[in-house]
Structure 1
Amino acid sequence: MFARYAYPPNALGYCGPAGAEAMLRGDATADIARRARRFEGAWSYLEFLASSAGIADPLDERVVEAYWVGGDLLAGVSSPALVAFLSERFAGQSGGSWRSAADRALPHHTFQVFEVYPWSGLLAATGHPQALSVLDQCRIRTGVVTAVSGETATVESRPLLSAPGGGLARGAPRRETVRWSVEGWSLLRGLGAGDRVALHWNWVCDTLTPDQADRIEALESRYHAVPSDHP
Structure 2
Amino acid sequence: MKDVSGTEIFARYAYAPNRLGYCGPPEATALRDGSPDEVRAVARRFSGVWPYLRVMSRMTGIADPMDPRLVESYWLGGGLGAQLDAGRFTAELLSLIGPLAGQYWAHLTADLAAEAAANHCFHVFGVYPWSRFLGKGMDEQPIHVLDSCRIGWGTVVDRDGDDISVLGPRLLWDENALRLSEPSVQHIVIDGFAPETTIGDQVAVHWGRLCGCLDLAQVHDLQASTEHQLLATNRRLAADQRA
* Fold similarity call, TM over 0.5: yes
Residues 44-91 of structure 1 deviation map (CA, whole Å, 9 limit, x = unaligned): 000111111101100000000110012331243121222212322222
| Residue equivalent to 1:221 | 227
Give the gaps of 5 or more residues in structure 1. Answer: none
| Residue equivalent to 1:4 | 12
Equivalent residue letter for 1:141: G
Equivalent residue letter for 1:125: K
Question: Quick one: distance in 2 between partners of 1:75 and 1:32?
Answer: 25
Give the gaps of 5 or more residues in structure 2. Answer: 1-8, 236-243
**C-alpha deviation, 1:149, in angstroms:** 1.5
Equivalent residue letter for 1:144: T
- Three-state SS of the structure 1 residue aligned to 2:113 is coil
* Structural RMSD (CA): 1.9
- Three-state SS of the structure 2 residue aligned to 1:64 is helix
Q: Does 1:191 align with 2:197?
A: yes
Which residue of 33, 36, 54 maps to 1:29?
36
CA 1:9 to 1:181, structure 2 compared with 1: closer, same or farther past 3 Å? closer
Equivalent residue letter for 2:133: L
- Three-state SS of the structure 2 residue aligned to 1:124 is coil
Indicate conservation of the 8 Å contact 2:147/2:171, yes or no. Answer: yes
Which residue of 132, 151, 154 maps to 2:165?
154
Residues 164-221 of structure 1 deviation map (CA, whole Å, 9 limit, x = unaligned): x511111122212211244xxx2x4311111100111111111001111111111111
Question: Quick one: distance in 2 between partners of 1:30 and 1:84?
Answer: 30
| Residue equivalent to 1:74 | 81
Which residue of 205, 211, 231 maps to 1:205?
211
CA 1:168 to 1:96, structure 2 compared with 1: closer, same or farther past 3 Å? farther
Q: Does 1:53 align with 2:60?
A: yes
Q: What is the TM-score normalised by the length of structure 2?
A: 0.84
Q: How many pairs are equivalent?
A: 221
Equivalent residue letter for 1:52: M
Residues 68-118 of structure 1 deviation map (CA, whole Å, 9 limit, x = unaligned): 012331243121222212322222243475521224411100110001011
Q: Does 1:133 align with 2:144?
A: yes
Q: What is the TM-score normalised by the length of structure 1?
A: 0.89
Identity %: 35
CA 1:214 to 1:226, structure 2 compared with 1: closer, same or farther past 3 Å? farther
Question: Quick one: distance in 2 between partners of 1:149 and 1:98?
Answer: 44
Indicate conservation of the 8 Å contact 1:140/1:199, yes or no. Answer: yes
Question: Quick one: distance in 1 between partners of 2:196 and 2:39?
Answer: 21
| Residue equivalent to 1:89 | 96
Indicate conservation of the 8 Å contact 2:115/2:126, yes or no. Answer: no
Residues 134-157 of structure 1 deviation map (CA, whole Å, 9 limit, x = unaligned): 111100011111111222211111
| Residue equivalent to 2:4 | none
